[in-house]
Amino acid sequence: MFLHNHPYPPFIPPNADKLIVGTLPPPRFSQGCLKPDDVDFCYGSRDGQLWLILGKIFGIDFQFENSQSAVQQRQHFLCEHKIGICDMVQQCQRAKIDASDIGMQQIVLRPLLHYLSENPTINTLLFTGGNSKNGPEYLFRQHLKTAGLSLTLVNNTIPRIHQFTWQNRTFTTVSLTAPSGAANRAVGSMAEYKRLKAQHPEFNTIDFRVLQYQRFFKN
């Protein structure tokens, strides 16, 4: 079995009001085997799409290279826009060395409620995936159960929106379509994507995520 540790601590600016919540980076980030166009930071995989999507939303030309300036560019952006990142998984075991969520075993979760307690301005959790097994929302639900809490459905259309109340604070969670190539097939099957694609043949899966994400990142 391969022990897959999360290589990065949470990055939460002091005044953050939104928190991006995923699982953990691909194993090569834990092994220190980054590719030239990976970024040594959260969501830094060259195969991921989060920073590409955010760049389109905010009009920023993010660097995609293994450099300190690329890391600092992302950290500055997060601080400026009051966005934090804290993934759900601290470590897990894998029978196969890959980045799949479903392949995670013996998962050790991060104490996300503790981080929320330490950061009183956070009011929104943006999951980079839904409630499929070992996805961010799925794991967060497991974490809430340990505190006797659960999510209340607010909107059942994609992206699904829930709320929960804890320590006299009400939090909103949004389960975004995953910013990964693996989710493109699911995007292609969505009725809304098909409608937009029929109207605009040049429309693609990145454009779809930009439309979806900007409602929550820019509010």
Residue extents of the structural domains in the chain: 2-217
Mean pLDDT of the chain: 94
Is residue 41 classed exposed, middle or buried when 0-12, 13-18 and 19+ CB atoms within 10 A define those classes?
buried
Residues 24-42 pLDDT 10s: 999 999 988 899 999 999 9
What is the reported pLDDT for 4? Answer: 93
pTM here is 0.95
Please give the Cα distance from 59 to 34 (Å, whole number).
26
Q: Which stretch of DSSP H or E encloses residue 126?
A: strand 124-127
What is the reported pLDDT for 169? Answer: 97
Say if residue 130's pLDDT is above 90: no
What is the reported pLDDT for 16? Answer: 98
Q: What is the DSSP string of 78-93?
A: HHHTTEEE--SEEEEE
What is the reported pLDDT for 14? Answer: 95
Q: Are 176 and 216 in contact (CB under 8 A)?
A: yes
Q: What is the pLDDT averaged over residues 47-58?
A: 96
What is the reported pLDDT for 184? Answer: 87
Say if residue 219's pLDDT is above 90: no
Q: Which CATH architecture has domain 2-217?
A: 3-Layer(aba) Sandwich (3.40)
What is the reported pLDDT for 101? Answer: 82
Place of tokens 């104490």: 111
- Tell me 115's DSSP state: H
